[in-house]
Chain A
């Protein structure tokens, strides 16, 4: 984990150092004298050799002090603190809903495998996955918010409950609908793998009813690969909904990164990338430990 994190830091550092524009020129703006640029360069330590700059970068990461955003002068730590709740308000319900809907759907499809229902749903899934995510959001926002007026077109407030009940439902519904198709398709293969096993035949042979076979035997085993996949999705809850956040002007972390990219706001991009990578690794570690509880066969080394 430590070498990987070091690698992430190195990758981000060298990416911005050697391929990015000169920070001093970006900061100084279009009209700046050579002296101003030089002075900014001195302030940021850009006149130092690269290893000193790397050391400054590492110190910033360890001390959680990335300074201020270049464009808005907001503390980077403050950006994290104020944007993360909005992202989580949208993403956590999306993740919970899509997993809870996709599992029963996939189980049904897998149970009727090979029949017309199965083929139809699989083809619908492929078709649904081929339409860009953007189209669903554009059309959904147009119909449900603009035309029918069931939801506000966009917006956000300071109160958590108002957000969750007024502003978040449409983004949550749209995002869930979109991710349902690929997840159903994937979970179907997990269920099919399990249904083909001998223990299912044994259970049938001893006369268990189908419901019991599906819900207690198959579901429990299929949950293991499903959990692996959900664990892969989990880090996405911090910035994964960036498109949703941009469309509905939700002041979340994903939208913040997008704005930072457009403004060449390097400290924000660097900070978000490094910290989210670290967070991702922690989550992966935690899920590895959780495996032990889901599947007793797993041995942690």
Chain B
């Protein structure tokens, strides 16, 4: 911080640092913040690669035996995978062809079945971090789950921020009737306990990634609305806004070109707080079966599977999902803290 003050003092002719550049300088000095930024960036690269199919593209392939052991526990017995082979009936086969009504057609069906080539790829006994009930690679699932969960969290947060900012800006800037009306809408949304609101929305819309984003976005905008509205009330009467009015800037221009950059730091911090809380919500919704559809994987659906797996001692899916989620959310939360400190004008 001292360095910033010095450069400004020594070279007054040079243009002083903008708020974002100054924040970036401060963020770079925060060691925890930089590490967290690295972790978050790594996750973002990972989910980008996963989105284009370079990583974890084959998460649905049943590569290993059911509940394949992790490679580092390869010598542990795996009773559950053998149970499938033991399913063959014991004792001599009973001939029931005289009473079986389908008996005449078996020959025809067998011939038709023989025409279709079935290849069953060799199943590995161990996978890098174990396999799930169908022998799918848990590590690939966790990466794919990270993609879905983070995608949902980020987009729902963007939607909530958009709604909250536009409504907050309108309420704070215009005030009056429009402000009163939006206050009423805000009161209505906050009067209903959050989880009930989410459940009510979930009851009427179907299942799917887009609906989860919609539910979280439509129910989670209230906090950001409140803060943005307060900022706009403060800024609307400031001189720079009135100067803009004097040179003929329209309402929309004043709201979003002049004021918005000045409250952008509030919005950004709230956005990242929302990402964390929405990822947690998505995980819970998916766990309850109200979230992502069955053919997709998210950290929540992994945890839902892990609950039954834990009872038979298969802990790796739970561990993988928990580790991925904990590392990402810790890094993101600490980054948000660092960001808030870096953007706080009072600390300058």
Least Cβ–Cβ distance between A155 and chain B, in angstroms: 17
* Known contacts A4-B187, A16-B204, A273-B200: A135-B303 contact under CB 8 Å: yes
Interface flags, A17-33, vs B, CB<8A=1, else 0: 00111000000000000
Is residue B96 contacting chain A, with contact meaning CB distance below 8 A? no
Nearest B residue (CB) for A5: B191
Please, how many angstroms separate the alpha-carbon atoms of A3 and B183 in the complex? 11
Least Cβ–Cβ distance between A169 and chain B, in angstroms: 21
Stretch at the interface among A60-68, A72-80, A86-94, A258-266: A258-266
* Known contacts A20-B204, A130-B326, A260-B203: A142-B193 contact under CB 8 Å: no
* Chain B positions within 8 Å of A21 at CB level: 204
Please, how many angstroms separate the alpha-carbon atoms of A301 and B311 in the complex? 58
* Chain B positions within 8 Å of A270 at CB level: 200
Please, how many angstroms separate the alpha-carbon atoms of A281 and B187 in the complex? 10
Please, how many angstroms separate the alpha-carbon atoms of A134 and B307 in the complex? 9
Contact of A134 among B191, B203, B284 (CB under 8 A): B284
Total interface residues on B, CB under 8 Å, equals 42
* Chain B positions within 8 Å of A127 at CB level: 326, 330
Interface flags, B302-346, vs A, CB<8A=1, else 0: 010011001100000010001001111110011000000000000
Total interface residues on A, CB under 8 Å, equals 50
Please, how many angstroms separate the alpha-carbon atoms of A134 and B187 in the complex? 30
Contact of B288 with A246 in the complex, beta carbons under 8 Å: yes
Contact of A135 with B310 in the complex, beta carbons under 8 Å: no
Greatest chain A CB density within 10 A among B201, B203, B288, B289 is at: B203
Within 8 A of B (CB), among A1-51: 3-5, 7-8, 10-12, 15-16, 19-21
Please, how many angstroms separate the alpha-carbon atoms of A59 and B28 in the complex? 61
Is residue A298 contacting chain B, with contact meaning CB distance below 8 A? no
* Chain B positions within 8 Å of A135 at CB level: 303, 318, 322
Please, how many angstroms separate the alpha-carbon atoms of A243 and B325 in the complex? 19
Is residue A126 contacting chain B, with contact meaning CB distance below 8 A? yes
Stretch at the interface among A159-167, A201-209, A221-229, A233-241: A233-241
* Chain A positions within 8 Å of B8 at CB level: none
Task: Give the A-B pair count, Cβ closer than 8 A.
Answer: 121
* Known contacts A15-B204, A134-B283, A134-B303: A126-B334 contact under CB 8 Å: yes
Please, how many angstroms separate the alpha-carbon atoms of A15 and B329 in the complex? 33
Least Cβ–Cβ distance between B277 and chain A, in angstroms: 10
Please, how many angstroms separate the alpha-carbon atoms of A10 and B188 in the complex? 9
Contact of B290 with A261 in the complex, beta carbons under 8 Å: yes
Contact of B283 with A280 in the complex, beta carbons under 8 Å: no
Contact of B284 with A132 in the complex, beta carbons under 8 Å: yes
* Chain B positions within 8 Å of A8 at CB level: 188, 191-192
Interface flags, A250-261, vs B, CB<8A=1, else 0: 000010011011
Contact of A19 with B204 in the complex, beta carbons under 8 Å: yes
Contact of A280 with B303 in the complex, beta carbons under 8 Å: no
Nearest A residue (CB) for B188: A7
Contact of B284 among A10, A239, A243, A277 (CB under 8 A): A243
Please, how many angstroms separate the alpha-carbon atoms of A242 and B187 in the complex? 24
Contact of A269 with B203 in the complex, beta carbons under 8 Å: yes
Is residue A96 contacting chain B, with contact meaning CB distance below 8 A? no
Interface flags, B75-108, vs A, CB<8A=1, else 0: 0000000000000000000000000000000000
**Chain A residues within CB distance 8 Å of chain B:** 3-5, 7-8, 10-12, 15-16, 19-21, 126-127, 129-135, 138-139, 142, 146, 235-236, 238-240, 242-243, 246, 254, 257-258, 260-262, 264, 266, 269-270, 272-273, 276-277, 280-281
15 pairs across A/B with beta carbons < 8 Å?
A12-B200, A16-B204, A20-B204, A127-B330, A133-B284, A134-B283, A139-B318, A235-B193, A239-B193, A240-B195, A258-B199, A261-B199, A262-B289, A269-B203, A277-B196
